[in-house]
Amino acid sequence: MNLDAIETQIPILGPAKIPSPIRHNIKEHRGAGFVSDSENVAVSVDMSELMRQVEAGKKPPYFELAGPRKNIYFDPSKLRCALVTCGGLCPGLNDIIRSVVLELYFGYGVRNIYGIRYGLRGFIPKYGHDMIDLTPQVVGNILDRGGSILGSSRGPQSFDEIVDSLERMNIGILFMIGGDGTLMAASKIADKITKRNLKISVVGIPKTIDNDIHMVSRSFGFDTAVEVSTQAIEGAHNEAQGYPNGIGLIKLMGRHSGFIAATATLALQDVNFVIIPEIDIDLEGKNGFLRTLEKRLELRGHAVIVVAEGAGQHFFSDGIEEKDESGNIKLNDIGPFLKGKIQSYFKSRKIEVTLKYIDPSYMIRSLPANANDSVFCGFLGRDAVHAGMAGKTKLLISHWNNCFVHVPMELSAGKRKHVIPYGKLWRTVLESTGQGSLKNT
């Protein structure tokens, strides 16, 4: 990590002069419970890198610690807030909505909280989507519901129209819950707000089931995805064991990063092959995947394969890159492709196999969060409220080095986190599966 290129300063709308109302909810002992901007978390825990910075006369970069501030910027009695969920569904969206609403309402006394329907489209007048008044009664029993009570959408919308809508509604804090595309949109919306000299805070809550947002060590929904993925792996393993030369093939989520596939493999160590976007493999050849799979069947009589949805795109040779409404490249479907290749290979070898293909992706996305994710969402939502009330803007709430911190949007937007090919996670996967490199050279 190049610490020299990291800028961690968080923009603020102005001085925070109003005593926080949550002082009445916290037993104070020398300011206990409140966090100051001087409390920081090191970006890197690499001691050699930190010493290099110190020896060069530089202060190593730190992230602001998230949490309630003693003084706030907005007057809760006059504040209006808006929440919007964007992009694909993910376990925990309703948990985030609930924690934000309850902290605003009971922690700070904010009474005007609005839910924007169907993502950023909800801001655009031509779509005609109504808002939802978000109260404790509305969000009180939504934890056991999957999806988002606000709905979602994909695709770009006019940033000028969005800011026009925020201005008309007299919104003070906008909470945007979404992935990389949403964070990039949030950053541009914040820039438009600054250009117009408006006092609107934009706070991002990073959402990606794939756990691939840069400078975010863990994202909500990931724990649930891994848990449910292990159930799919268990089913595939049982199916594979039930037939001579049985093969269970599971496609899991992971467009650009293989964190779900790798972590689920380690959670239930019945997997023999893991294929992820970060690691290229060969299909054919002496050490390629198909021949290695054949050796596995000769040795044990069954095999379980996990493939991330974004893996193996180099196997598709048409070179055509279609994009969805959000500008994401449409992936070729590696699951059926791999299924067909396996079946063709063993047919050509006159070896009878029984292959069962499982794709639990959309079922996982729309499930309620598990207990760990629900607790995690509570921290994220409340810290997002604390940041917004203090007048901080153009930031996201991140979990970093085991702490919740403020990260500038520009530091994360447009960048992705990947499984490191020579890192501990992938090395442990290789040790668990024994699959080898699956490369001929």
- Note if 210 is an active site residue: yes
Q: Look at residues 362, 330, 418 and name the one whose alpha carbon lies nearest to residue 88.
A: 362
Can you tell me the distance from the alpha carbon of 192 to that of 196, in angstroms, rounded to the nearest whole number?
6
User: Strand pairing partners for 174?
Assistant: 82, 202
Domain annotation for the chain: domains and CATH numbers: 3-219+367-412 (3.40.50.450), 226-364+421-433 (3.40.50.460)
The catalytically annotated residue of 4, 95, 144, 210 is: 210
Q: What is the mean pLDDT of each run of 10 residues along the chain (441 residues)?
A: 72 97 62 84 70 64 94 98 95 97 97 97 95 97 94 91 97 96 95 97 95 94 96 96 97 95 95 97 96 97 97 80 66 95 97 96 91 97 98 97 95 90 96 95 83
Contact 381, 99 (CB under 8 A): yes
Token code pair at residue 133? 């008044």
Token code pair at residue 116? 């924007």
Contact 74, 166 (CB under 8 A): no
Token code pair at residue 231? 């159930």
User: What is the pTM assigned to this prediction?
Assistant: 0.92
Contact 212, 425 (CB under 8 A): no
- What number of helices (H) and strands (E) belong to the chain? 13, 15
pLDDT attached to residue 29:
47
pLDDT attached to residue 4:
56
In sequence order, which ranges of 316-366 are alpha helices (DSSP H)?
A: 334-348, 361-365
| Phi/psi of residue 401, nearest 5 degrees | 50, 45
pLDDT attached to residue 441:
83
Q: Look at residues 10, 67, 12 and name the one whose alpha carbon lies nearest to residue 34.
A: 67
pLDDT attached to residue 188:
96
